[in-house]
Structure 1
């Protein structure tokens, strides 16, 4: 079983006297910076985006160009999105690295697919919360259970694990524990979830809604029943909290029977082949190549895909249903 770390595994003294140079101040970076500061660390923001730098200053952080920030500390937290990180790293971080520096990645993507190869004289660690910046911030503030993945990909100093765990604790990434994986595993698992569960669920919900509406059920009732009531989200939340089977057992018996007696209908060899194909594309680096090309060319396919999906009449019905639902909420005052 992989190692599992909690807050008791970490000692913030491993970071004593050290500031954190954080490169990037987006969604996850914003949460990371606030959590680190509230854990007692000094955080210096490095950003080439003037809006991000201004936002960081407004929040009370010292902000400067990324090159200058990276030179200020041996602890460098890379908080840029996967697609932007390689160019930022090579232009503003790589040339100034010193023996014993620690690079902290919040995603394993660039390491897994060879987009960044840290020099052998630095530490390279991964702290990857399973959620967005809002979830990380909420976990820190309220102690909610948001687990993380953690890895030491390179330990030049002999202190990489101590620093990684201390930083994970300061980030709030140990509030729900951190499971040891490799950067390769983290990246492949995240992409697999994004390219199988999420599109399948999206397609299943929209196809079911279109069928019900076509068969004469009121659009508002159909959409509320399928997902706009929040019941589906609650069931998934209970599955995460209690386990999928345990959550199922808390449902009414007719619901349990409905699920268990029909679940085999969706166990299909074609589905298995689709899952295997998705995983193969990810492992072979085909998706990484596709995404790099898409990003470099200005995201034309992403724009076309968004427009094609947005053209569905279902979203107008969804908006009307959301407005109807929200109109019942008590008004402040």
Structure 2
């Protein structure tokens, strides 16, 4: 394991140099890994594990869209694709990758298969940390671990196929066998992580919920809408407003920030852009930080989890979601975006 200096703070990270794929395969050579759920994370993690040489099966409710997607991805009914209960019975490692609401619904079914010495794997700490609301309480004689890729399942798979990887956090909640930590590392390497960093279930879920609602999605979408609407209200065309708000950020600037850092970006723009951005940065921080503090407190208190469980468990949740997403999709901002994307040149 390597000690890396992150801005003056020493952290332990695990890379493929310290724990190569061959070691990961050897660590899990007697294990059968069941991926439960084939929605967001399931496809990417399972396909990467399969391609890396691990023994993988899929557990999914039969006949639905995800079942058909699994068959299209090469999983074979009765050989590597089973209904949830049968997959759990056949596995020694159960990767519990259903949605948070789905995990609550399927828990009693999965729990029956958690015999002594098995491993229960999560990619999100929600079900465990908020177990007073979810009732997900594993038996004491199983390992409970977490590997949380810091990106979507689609990105995990796409980068894997390019020979790259999404960074992942790892954690151990229960170590019944004494091997939980090494299994977490092996699975983290197996699913295609770039490197692994240590956390615990509580920190993972608090940071994840804050990030999703904050800069990764909620705040980003809100800021897009705010700037676009101001530009439009001042007479700018939809294409100009979209290019200045979304297109330049996503297609030009963010890849450079990812490669070189924000200071490099400031240093490599005109003095006009440089000075203005640096002067306004503090104002945006001052405006946004109280909202982030409020958000984190809502997450840490459990109130956000309660709200999500209630809303996500509603029978008409999908219908309401479709209405919300249609409103975004049909807004002028994202209609302009669809038109701009079609115009992107292929050189």
1:272-291 to 2 correspondences below 5 Å: 272-291=289-308
The alignment partner of 2:141 has SS state of coil
- 1:242-292 deviations in Å (ceiling 9; x for gaps): 222233223233221111122232243x53332211111100100110111
- Does residue 40 (structure 1) correspond to residue 58 (structure 2)? The answer is no
2:33–2:91 CA contact under 8 A, matched in 1: yes
Q: Which segments of 5 or more consecutive residues in structure 2 lack a partner in the other structure? A: 1-9
- Does residue 323 (structure 1) correspond to residue 342 (structure 2)? The answer is no
- Whole-angstrom distance in 2 between the partners of 1:46 and 1:103: 14
2:93–2:119 CA contact under 8 A, matched in 1: yes
1:34-73 to 2 correspondences below 5 Å: 34-51=47-64, 52-61=66-75, 62-73=80-91
Indicate the RMSD between aligned Cα atoms, in angstroms.
2.5
Deviation of 1:183 (Å) = 1.0
- 1:81-120 deviations in Å (ceiling 9; x for gaps): 12211221222x1012111101111111111211322111
When the two structures are superposed, what TM-score results if normalisation uses the length of structure 1?
Answer: 0.88
Aligned to 1:146: 166
- Whole-angstrom distance in 2 between the partners of 1:146 and 1:78: 19
1:3–1:180 CA contact under 8 A, matched in 2: yes
- Whole-angstrom distance in 2 between the partners of 1:145 and 1:60: 22
Aligned to 2:124, which of 91, 107, 113? Answer: 107
When the two structures are superposed, what TM-score results if normalisation uses the length of structure 2?
Answer: 0.85
Aligned to 1:191: 209
- Whole-angstrom distance in 1 between the partners of 2:86 and 2:127: 22
- Does residue 7 (structure 1) correspond to residue 26 (structure 2)? The answer is no
The alignment partner of 1:178 has SS state of strand
- Whole-angstrom distance in 1 between the partners of 2:329 and 2:94: 47
Deviation of 1:138 (Å) = 2.1
Aligned to 1:19: 32
Higher mean Cα deviation, 199-208 or 80-89? Answer: 199-208
- Whole-angstrom distance in 1 between the partners of 2:346 and 2:197: 42
1:37-186 to 2 correspondences below 5 Å: 37-51=50-64, 52-61=66-75, 62-91=80-109, 93-114=110-131, 115=134, 116-173=136-193, 176-186=194-204
CA 1:312–1:138 in 2, change beyond 3 Å: closer, same or farther?
closer
- Whole-angstrom distance in 2 between the partners of 1:66 and 1:313: 34
